[in-house]
A = this chain, B = another copy of it.
Amino acid sequence: MNCPEHPHGHSHHAAGAGGRAALPELADQLRRKARKLTGARQAIFEILRRQLHPLSNKEIFAELPKGDCDLATVYRSLHLLEEMRMVKRFDLGDGIARYELLAEGDDGHHHHLVCTRCTAVIEIEECFPRELEQNIATRNGFTAITHKLEFFGICPRCQ
């Protein structure tokens, strides 16, 4: 039905695709969970691998060789990948889920700087100070505390 040959060898690794998981790892992780390595999943995985920003389901779907798979399958695949800790979901504040591929062992905890005009996204390494976070946790008796942090502004090009 769908058989994602990848005729164009986009094998150039974008800067930043550095430690990202490669296909064999996907196959591996899937086998480990008794899930199947399907064409759709490979294709989606490859799209994420090539991309440097977080992608929405629709964006991924749009990049898929058309007719390759259903939008519902994209949604299902991303849920699976998320559950397998191979992608991380980001919420940029417009009710649209976006996903980024994770490097092996990466917990994916990082933040973004988003241009409110063109929606360009830059990865940010700064993080909310751990001690402050710990303060907040203990002061309020909370455990398992985490945070979401995103920055918004106007990028050089859009100014």
Contacts and interface: CB of A to CB of B under 8 A. Distances in A.
A151 B139 contact: no
Interface residues of A, number: 40
A94 to B, nearest CB: 9
Interface stretch (A12-20, A38-46, A128-136): A128-136
Contact of A113 (B7, B136, B151, B153): B136
A148 B93 CA distance: 9
A68 interface: no
B136 A156 contact: no
Given A140-B8, A144-B154, A149-B149, A95 B95 contact: yes
A66 interface: no
B152 A146 contact: yes
A135 B137 CA distance: 26
Given A126-B132, A136-B113, A8 B141 contact: yes
A143 B7 CA distance: 15
Contacts of A113: 136, 140, 142, 145
A9 B141 CA distance: 8
Nearest to A150: B148
Contact of A9 (B8, B122, B139, B156): B139
A76 B84 CA distance: 41
